[in-house]
Structure 1
Amino acid sequence: MTNSPLISAEELLALRASGARHMVFDCSFDLMNPAAGEEQYRQAHIPGAVYAHLDHDLSDKGTPDASGKYQPHPDAASGGRHPLPGREKFAIWLSSVGFANDMRAVVYDRNGANYCGRLWWMLRWAGHEAVQVLDGGLQAWQAAGGKVASGAEPSHFQSNFELGEPRATLVTTTQIESALGTPKHTIIDARAPQRYRGEVEPLDPVAGHIPGALNRPFTQNMGADGRFKSAAQLRSEFEELLAGRDAASVVHHCGSGVSALPNVIAMEVAGLGRPALYAGSWSEWCGDAKRPVAKGPAAGG
């Protein structure tokens, strides 16, 4: 098994037949209906898959204040609408579902890798290299003849997942601010062009983008078949976007640190290294009125 960020449905079928220790995670979600993903999981999922809920398991949203707005838990690793849980808290959750350090993780969703990429990145951040995204998601699994199960899965025995040195880079708002206007960071925004340009903003209180950020909507990484484009095509597209900028300087972000991950995965597939993530993203950036906001297309765009 390679260390590619992706695994095909056929490769997953072979992995399951081999008896190698692994765990599959279903990360399906819907931002507008947070209960929908788990309901979809109960209707059909890869047998044995554990459901990972974006709001409950992969975020640390804390508790609502008097106005009903959620304040990140003091131990959260980022701000924004989906604050990253601290690494220790994440390790506790992994242990609670029975995931161990000697297992390979395979993550999938029904949403073009929009949500499972979060768990893929978090496992890397926790020091776990053996994790892959099911290319094409549940749809590809079923098309390859993979069976599905319904209802809940039996509970797993508690494990003792141990954190390792981070294998993914997390960038903070302070770091973004301090490097603004310099070549240290090349910021890529994964949101839709209309949100990037500040024409609409359905989720956050301020419209626009971080000054100097480039725009690559995360959906551009997928082909018509719902799978990631070829490595060569992705490399060509990112090199065109970067226009000579150093790929090692790239920091990806989106609205809340979730849909930026397909861009991170795509750059790694393209052989352009392992770029950083600004997990707080636009929702954290625009939370302080003192921070600058840009609107319209990128300079020269």
Structure 2
Amino acid sequence: MRFNTLISVEQLADLFSSPADVLVCDGSFELSNPAAGLDAYRAAHVPGAAYLHLEDELSGPKNGQNGRHPLPTREAFAHAMARAGASDTTQLVCYDSAGGMYAARLWWLARWAGHPDVALLDGGLPAWRTAGKPVETGDGATRPPGNFTLRDALAGIVDFDAVLANVSSGARVVLDARAADRFRGENETLDAVGGHIPNARNRFFRDNLDANGRFKSPDALREEIGAIAGTADGAALISQCGSGVTACHNLLAMEIAGIRGAALYPGSWSEWSSRRDAPVATGAA
């Protein structure tokens, strides 16, 4: 069985006891302390997991106008996955300890690279440990390099110019994954300007999770996201956030819900707010 959205703790444990080629990737990270993710990984991780750093492997170089976490090139990401031990037939599983806040970026990048067999561990490391599953400490064993190669992308992107044109055309609905106060332009601490892209709608990524930190059911996600977006046609949607990270959480939720074809705006608010020609809206809508 292959997994391409979510995988449960028990399903992952079953894979470990099978001959399947599985690579687990720990995406732990903290925006306020970029070194904290690796420290957390070394303190405890799923046995055999490789650590992928948001800013080193899952982002590309910044130039001052492309946001806080610009995408790596597809080639750079493929090389990073091959170094971690992934091949084209590998079942990838990603997780963190923050409800998938960071791991969803790896899920999306794998799909962008054309790799369909990638799933997020539902509930992350907390769910794994609550279930009494073992953890490892330290840096973990290194797998031999894999032959992860690029294939036709399974996820799409839009750039600044396309989103700017969309403000006037209204052809697609922009869903902003940031917290409501930042969407309104309040309490902005990460970017120089507060507010949101005009006509965008707010879907805080944490609303994708239930009280136990697991993703809501496909029906619930479809109803909630559809109500905010006004459509269940993923091709009519653009996902963005502060820097293109938690927007991937919403894209995963859409995929779970069967709302497929939405695009990522990688630069998101951190790029948008750095551009002098970008209009800014504030308030709830």
Asked if TM exceeds 0.5, the reply is yes
Give the SS at the match of 1:181: helix
SS at match of 1:138: helix
- Residues in 2 aligned to 1:126 and 1:278: alpha-carbon distance in whole angstroms: 16
Counterpart amino acid of residue 36 in structure 2: A
State the match for 1:213 in structure 2. Answer: 200
Find the counterpart in structure 2 of residue 255 from structure 1.
242
* Whole-Å separation in 2 of the counterparts to 1:236 and 1:158: 42
Query: CA offsets per residue over residues 235-280 of structure 1, 9 Å max, x none?
Result: 1111211234744211100000001111111111111114211111
Distance in 1 (CA, whole Å) between partners of 2:24 and 2:94 is 6
Q: Give the gaps of 5 or more residues in structure 2.
A: none
Q: 1:53-64, aligned counterparts within 5 Å? A: 53-62=53-62
* Match in the other structure for 2:29: 29
Aligned to 1:12: 12
1:24 match: secondary structure = strand
Q: 1:80 aligns with which of 64, 67, 72?
A: 67
Question: Which residue matches 1:45?
Answer: 45
Aligned with 1:102: secondary structure? coil
Q: How does 1:17-166 map to 2 (within 5 A)?
A: 17-62=17-62, 71=63, 79-166=66-153
Unaligned runs of 5+ in 1: 63-70, 73-77
Match of 1:296 in 2: 283
SS at match of 1:174: helix
Structure 1 position 3, deviation (Å):
4.1
Partner of 1:283: 270
TM-aligned CA deviation for residue 9 of structure 1:
0.5
Q: Letter of the aligned partner of 1:160 in structure 2?
A: N
- How far the C-alpha of 1:158 sits from its partner, in A, is 2.2
- Once structures 1 and 2 are overlaid, which stretch shifts more, 174-183 or 35-44? 174-183
Provide the aligned C-alpha RMSD in A.
1.4
> In structure 1, what residue type is equivalent to 2:148?
F
Identity of aligned residues (%): 46
C-alpha distance in 1 between matches for 2:75 and 2:3:
25
CA contact (8 A) 1:4 1:269 kept: no
Following the alignment from structure 1 to structure 2, what is the Cα–Cα distance between the partners of residues 277 and 230? 23
User: 1:191-237: per-residue Cα shift (whole Å, max 9, x none)?
Assistant: 11111011221101111100000001111011001100111111111
Q: Once the 2 structures are TM-superposed, how far is the Cα of residue 142 of structure 1 from its aligned partner?
A: 1.5
Letter in 1 for 2:181: Q
CA distance, structure 2, for counterparts of residue 262 and residue 98 of structure 1: 24
Q: Tell me the equivalent position of 1:75.
A: none
The corresponding residue for 1:227 is 214
Contact 1:94 1:161 in 2 (8 A): yes
